[in-house]
Chains A and B, each alone.
Chain A
């Protein structure tokens, strides 16, 4: 198994577009029906240009992208994210991860990450700790 070297950069990893179909599917699966994600007028009334992706969907997408790239079975030990800017419906994210620490004989690995949109705006940053099985 390939070892994840400390400070190794993983990326760019591209998300799918967060289109309205996906926002609707996530709203339904997560029971988060906040109209700023689903209705353009409600989003505009809240001060956004148009519908914005759920923060929890963006966070989930970052983990999914890392998981796909590593292609190893793992579970999440901890995962934290800070949200800076909204991601508008139809937008796409590029994620970058950096390996920050490795413990327990490389079974527990922590990554710092950033997600940016196509305009290079910082949407999220955070830290994820994976336990490889």
Chain B
């Protein structure tokens, strides 16, 4: 039985983002010009360096051990995703990130198959004294893993 507990957080972890990281990601999603791949364009728009495309925080998911996902063996499906920016992610900066399992629910669907819905939040903060939040990424994942048990925190 795999037990998962809403409220669980990962450790805080640092992600340093380079121009090359942003360029590689931006090109893989079809940006061949503009503020995501051209330094001149980013600076002309008033940024210190390249601006990450909005879905860039997905890369941070793989930078830390996520206890509520680590033991799930069935494929996870994406139900919903949102990104909210307090300020843009720009190249040359280090962000302090943390993931939290916000909620987990289970229900039977269709022919009686158990479906688990995991709601997870990733937050990224500036690595300076103010440590202001830069981005929030909320995800809803669906799993059909059959041996999951949700344990609410006491």
Contact = CB atoms under 8 A, between A and B. Distances in A.
Interface of A: 16, 22, 25-26, 28-32, 34-36, 42, 46, 55-57, 59-61, 63-64, 67, 73, 75-83, 128, 133
Interface in B66-84: 74-84
A102 B84 CA distance: 18
A81 B139 CA distance: 10
Given A57-B29, A73-B34, A81 B85 contact: no
Interface centre among A16, A26, A55 (most CB of B within 10 A): A55
A102 B148 CA distance: 44
Contacts of B27: 29
Closest 10 CB pairs of A and B: A29-B28, A80-B82, A55-B78, A60-B29, A76-B54, A31-B62, A64-B30, A78-B84, A46-B75, A60-B55
Interface string B21-42: 0001101111100110000010
A24 B109 CA distance: 32
B81 A64 contact: no
A79 B54 contact: yes
Given A59-B55, A133-B45, A80 B76 contact: no
Nearest to A81: B81
A26 B27 CA distance: 9
Given A30-B25, A34-B75, A57-B29, A67 B83 contact: no
Interface residues of B, number: 32
Nearest to A59: B55
A60 B79 contact: no
Given A77-B84, A81-B81, 7 more contacts: A26-B29, A29-B28, A30-B28, A55-B81, A59-B55, A78-B85, A80-B81
Contacts of A32: 58, 62
Nearest to B28: A29
A83 B78 contact: yes
Contact of A75 (B58, B62, B85): B85
Contact of B80 (A34, A64, A75, A82): A82
B58 A56 contact: yes
B35 A26 contact: no
Contacts of B79: 82-83
B21 to A, nearest CB: 9
